[in-house]
Amino acid sequence: MTPLVVALDTNVLRALDVAKLLKGLTFKVGWDLVFEGGASIISEIARYGNVIVDLKLADVPHIVERIIEKVVSRGACCVIVHGFLHPSIPKGEHVYVLVKMTAPTLYDEVWDRLLEKIEGVRGIVLPGNQPHVVAYARRRIGCRYRIITPGIGAQGGRPGDAINAGADFEIVGRYVLDDPSRAAQWAQLKPACFDTP
């Protein structure tokens, strides 16, 4: 499977067009699209490929768990949850934990400690515009969890650099939305450990 997640941060019609055009890839649906299209946009996009829902959840466990259940029942494989919730992050195969962001945040001071504590989830989100961070994390966690990485293209990361550093999938929004034919740049790349998102 192509190790690319297309972040559909755009309007509903454009998102559906891009998903149709790039059928079979993985798509990320976030607040922007959910506010535009309602929660049903998740199942609409899921007709064209795997869907990761990125609401960057940050609430008490029973609320986060209820939202995960609703999102998964609409056809998403998984959901991104804020890592600062640790140790109250719900576990499970549907959960991706945000460990460090592409922009400067307080995660920069704790991400390596947080990394050591993550367990029982599907994977983690790390900044693809910082391949050294990805390489460090992959060395630490081995192939226990997936690593998916935004920050490619518009935020400075080069296509393939995070995958070569140990990521499984790169998350790309504007660079691919501006010209969907650029998705071909990921066709020959191989994920470090997992070939499903």
Residues making contact with ligand BMP (CB under 6 A) = 7, 9, 28, 30, 54, 101-102, 125, 127, 150-151, 153-155, 171-175
Closest C-alpha among 169, 196, 197, 167 to residue 183: 169
Least spacing, CB of residue 172 vs ligand BMP, in Å: 5
Residue 100 is among the residues annotated as catalytic for this protein: no
Q: What angle do CA 97, 103, 109 make, to 5 degrees?
A: 70
By C-beta, is 127 or 160 nearer to ligand BMP? 127
Omega within 30 of 0 (cis) for the link into 127: no
Task: Report the Cα 182 to chain-centroid distance in Å.
Answer: 18
Chain position whose Cβ is nearest to ligand BMP? 173
**Which DSSP letter does residue 5 get?**
E
Q: Which is nearer to ligand BMP, 28 or 94 (CB)?
A: 28
Cα–Cα distances in angstroms (integers) from residue 130 to residues 1, 50, 87, 178, in the given order: 24, 25, 25, 23
Q: Cβ closer to ligand BMP: 19 or 62? A: 19
Q: Select which of 56, 91, 117, 190 is catalytic.
A: 56
Provide, rounded to whole angstroms, the least separation between the CB of residue 54 and ligand BMP: 5
Query: β-strand 169-172 against 26-30: which pairing, if any?
Result: unpaired
In angstroms, how far is CA 73 from the centroid of its own chain?
A: 18
Name which of 83 and 191 has its Cβ closer to ligand BMP: 83
Q: Looking at the annotation, which residues are catalytic?
A: 56
